[in-house]
Amino acid sequence: MSAHLVLIDALNLIRRIYAVQERPFIQSSMSDSNNLSHNTKKQVLFNTQEACIAALNKILNQHQPTHALVVFDSQQPCWRYKIYSDYKQGRKKMPEHLAEKLPEIQDAFLEQGVDSLVSDEDEADDLIATLAIKMALHGQKVTIISTDKGFLSLLSPNIVLYDHFNRRYLDEKHIKAKFDVKTSQLIDLWILTGDNTNKIPGVPGIGQVTASRLLNEYGSLQALINANDLTKSIEDKLRENQEGMKLARQLLTLRQDIPLGFNLKAIRFTNPRLRDSDNIVSINDTFLPR
């Protein structure tokens, strides 16, 4: 029988839930996260954990996976910082008290039957991409739970992206409406325009409207670079920013080759209330590398 793997982008889920739980306390005290009282922090963290458990169970009930995994970022700066020191510069850091709570939230997820994976040096995005592609190559279904646009480049007949908070799939229609390009052109688009969320610069003077128009006309960034009928302005911009575009491609492309060290059987979802059931899906569990 076929498998359906649900991959949850842990910090994308947890930090959004935490922000919702924290907001009323910050607004009432006119303070910020770090200046909340000890008891208030404890209350926010308790509420966050309970809300995360509820969200997890809602995800599992809605998507009915045979396998599930919650994927966390490395606690250390990932490899992208090593090749580009300004990566994610200025992004709000996770509150220390929330970071200290993560192991308890992981334990709470495990009690619901879903294990967690934490990388040593890669981002959760790279781990999720590796798992998703491996599953898809074997004809299995993958649902990624995240609002991170970077996963849009992975969409395929076997890989879908679901926005849990807005209760919608982020699909080809979403890509066309938001970016006016095809899935296969997204990385090229972001190389040209940059990715402000992660502080990855693009080609100066080329915005999304121009970038999408050029990609729709020429098909790809490489075809655009090779074209001999560009305006001098565009030609100069591309020529002068070749190194920047090369770096941007490295930063924007999700890794798909991370050694995982476990097989599919290890992340089979077994509802704790149904552990003795005979209805557990049985599939070939051996294709992921040990």
Using the predicted structure, report yes or no on whether residue 79 has a pLDDT greater than 70.
yes
* pTM, rounded to two decimals: 0.91
pLDDT on residue 275: 38
DSSP annotation of 143 reads: E
- pLDDT, tens only, 254-289: 999 998 888 888 899 977 654 333 333 322 333 443
Phi/psi of residue 143, each to 5°? -120, 120
Determine what percent of the chain falls in helix, strand and coil, rounding each to the nearest 5: 55, 10, 35
Using the predicted structure, report yes or no on whether residue 290 has a pLDDT greater than 80.
no
88 φψ region: left (φ > 0), alpha (ψ -120 to 50), beta (else): left
- Rounded distance, CA 282 to CA 50, Å? 31
Task: For residue 53, give the amino acid letter.
Answer: I
The candidate with the shortest Cα–Cα distance to 154, out of 13, 269, 5, 2, is: 5
- Rounded distance, CA 59 to CA 164, Å? 8
Task: For residue 152, give the amino acid letter.
Answer: L
Average pLDDT over residues 214-223: 97
The answer to whether 286 and 262 are in contact (CB under 8 A) is no
- The domains located in the chain, with CATH, are 4-175 (3.40.50.1010), 176-252 (1.10.150.20)
- Rounded distance, CA 288 to CA 290, Å? 6
The helix/strand/coil state of 118 is strand
Average pLDDT over residues 222-226: 96
**pLDDT greater at residue 27 or residue 129:** 129
- pLDDT, tens only, 146-157: 999 999 999 999
DSSP annotation of 55 reads: H
Least confident among 64-68, 73-77, 83-87, 180-184: 73-77
